[in-house]
Amino acid sequence: MDTARLLEKQRTYFRSGATKSVEFRIHQLQTLKKLLSEHEDELFEAVYADFKKPELETYATELGILHNEISYTIRNLKNWAKPKRLKGTWINFPSSNYTIAEPYGAVLVIAPWNYPIQLALLPLVGAIAAGNTVVVKPSELTPHTTSVLSRLMSKWFKEEFIAIVEGGVETNQALLSEDFDHIFFTGSSRVGKIVMEAASKNLTPVTLELGGKSPCIVDDTADLETAAKRIAWGKFLNAGQTCVAPDYIMVKASVKDKFLEYLKESIRSFYGVNAKLSPDYPRIVNEDHFGRLVSYLSDGEIYYGGKTDQEECYIEPTILTDIKERAPVMEEEIFGPIVPIITFNDIGEAIDLINSKPKPLALYVFTREKETEDRIVEKCSFGSGAVNDVVAHLGNHHLPFGGVGKSGMGAYHGKKSFDTFSHFKGIMKKPLWLDIPFRYAPYKGKLKWIKKILK
């Protein structure tokens, strides 16, 4: 792939102004929606071939989210793209002031493997809506999905507007050495640093959607049965390979046993006693990740699960208790179907533990006490989160989605996606009928007037 030639082609297309009209953008979004509908079965099959993800999950967490986002964007785009009037200030009286949302130009989207359709195409929706041309680099770890995406997109869209580039680390490095106008990266913190370093060479702005350890707190006032059910759903969805999955659970010591019973029951009710036979339970994406996850199994006592099958990259939904001190499972992002359980006696202990670690992408708390909820939300910094639920906040496009600190920078979803891929150009227009002379030399006697206005 000649990345320089591809970028030049997209730049020329962008400069032609073809992507600028709102009608063009809406038409492209409609085309994307049509593609997703017409090729739904192919996409289901590809994701299943990559890691046995069931159709319902592929629809709910990938295609459905995309349809919803596209429809919402189409409905609102005319309004978002209009110039916005803003107030003037006395120092510039009289003037009219407004912002114009202009596209950055040629943008690069780099995606991870865990939601291989959604995480490649959801940023694309925002980039199209804002009027950019886009190069998308999906993950090489889900080869079936990446290959189907590449084939379909190249059939439905012109390369000078949207190009899917297949490849691994080397391809990414080649893309990162080019002078894109914005880079939107979703992936690990480790690669996030590489992306930011490469972007700094060209002063390219970046959005970094990274990962980390998202905590989940369950206190003694929580509805334990519902909490267990919702946590089991969010943790074992996609076999735990979700950036906002609850990474570890902190449960009040006095309700630990009861909560663990419910958690075990929930796992069994979802996947049966042998999750390997369940058509609804996916596999780990590859042997490297499988090996990494298996090594966590000896970091504590296995309360439930623990069975593995290397040939199938299968890991049973697993609950770990009595975690060893400084165990890797509590230091690294787990990103798989293993959940360590930590106990606390006072909510302050839980807050201190969270605040001793890098700011997480998500945080969840199950409680009936408003005071506990407020204390956690106020004292802990995190990307986004939920009270009495996990993961589901992602399905609300009115909420911005993104990390903070080590879990990322920038956000997207809904209107925020449009903003992320736009530059808001501020313009002041002055009439000629009045020209107050304060600013012009000679300054003698004018300072007191300036002080009256700028105070």
Catalytic residue among 160, 209, 316, 333: 209
| CA dist., res. 127 & res. 418, Å (int) | 7
* Closest distance of CB 115 from ligand NAD, Å: 6
| CA dist., res. 440 & res. 302, Å (int) | 77
* Closest distance of CB 91 from ligand NAD, Å: 42
Q: Is 10 exposed, middle or buried (0-12, 13-18, 19+ CB in 10 A)?
A: buried
Q: In the chain, what's the furthest Cα-to-Cα distance?
A: 87
Q: Which is nearer to ligand NAD, 102 or 166 (CB)?
A: 166
Cis peptide before 442 (omega within 30 of 0): yes
At 48, list the tokens.
Answer: 């299943």
* Closest distance of CB 170 from ligand NAD, Å: 8
* Closest distance of CB 420 from ligand NAD, Å: 13
| Binding region for ligand NAD (CB under 6 A) | 110-114, 119, 137, 139-140, 168-169, 172-173, 186-188, 191, 194, 209-211, 243, 333, 335, 361, 403, 408
Q: Which is nearer to ligand NAD, 313 or 361 (CB)?
A: 361
Q: Which is nearer to ligand NAD, 222 or 361 (CB)?
A: 361
Q: At what angle do helices 189-201 and 169-176 cross, to 10 degrees?
A: 30
| Nearest CA-CA partner of 73 in 369, 323, 420 | 420
Triad 357, 246, 406: Cα angle to 5°: 35
Q: What H or E segment, with its residue span, contains residue 424?
A: strand 422-429
* Closest distance of CB 413 from ligand NAD, Å: 10
| CA dist., res. 307 & res. 34, Å (int) | 42
Q: Which is nearer to ligand NAD, 131 or 414 (CB)?
A: 414
Reduce the secondary structure of 278-319 to three states and give it as a string.
Answer: CCCCCCCCCHHHHHHHHHHCCCCEEEECCCEECCCCEECCEE
Q: How, if at all, do strands 182-186 and 106-110 pair?
A: parallel
Phi, then psi, of 134 in degrees rounded to 5: -140, 135
* Closest distance of CB 314 from ligand NAD, Å: 19
3-class state of residue 230 by DSSP: helix
The answer for 138, left when phi > 0, alpha when psi is -120 to 50, beta otherwise, is beta
CB 196 within 8 A of CB 208: yes
Is residue 371 annotated as a catalytic residue, yes or no?
no
* Closest distance of CB 194 from ligand NAD, Å: 5
For 200-213, b where at least 16 C-beta lie within 10 A, e where not — what string? eeeebbbbbbbbbb
Cis peptide before 431 (omega within 30 of 0): no
Q: Which is nearer to ligand NAD, 26 or 153 (CB)?
A: 153
- Which residue minimizes CB distance to ligand NAD? 211
Q: Which is nearer to ligand NAD, 130 or 210 (CB)?
A: 210
Q: Which is nearer to ligand NAD, 300 or 408 (CB)?
A: 408
The residue type of 436 is: I
| Nearest CA-CA partner of 334 in 344, 343, 345, 323 | 323
Q: Which is nearer to ligand NAD, 19 or 384 (CB)?
A: 384
Distance of CA 110 to the CA centre of its chain: 12
* Closest distance of CB 86 from ligand NAD, Å: 31
* Closest distance of CB 27 from ligand NAD, Å: 28
Q: Which is nearer to ligand NAD, 139 or 266 (CB)?
A: 139
Known catalytic residues? 209
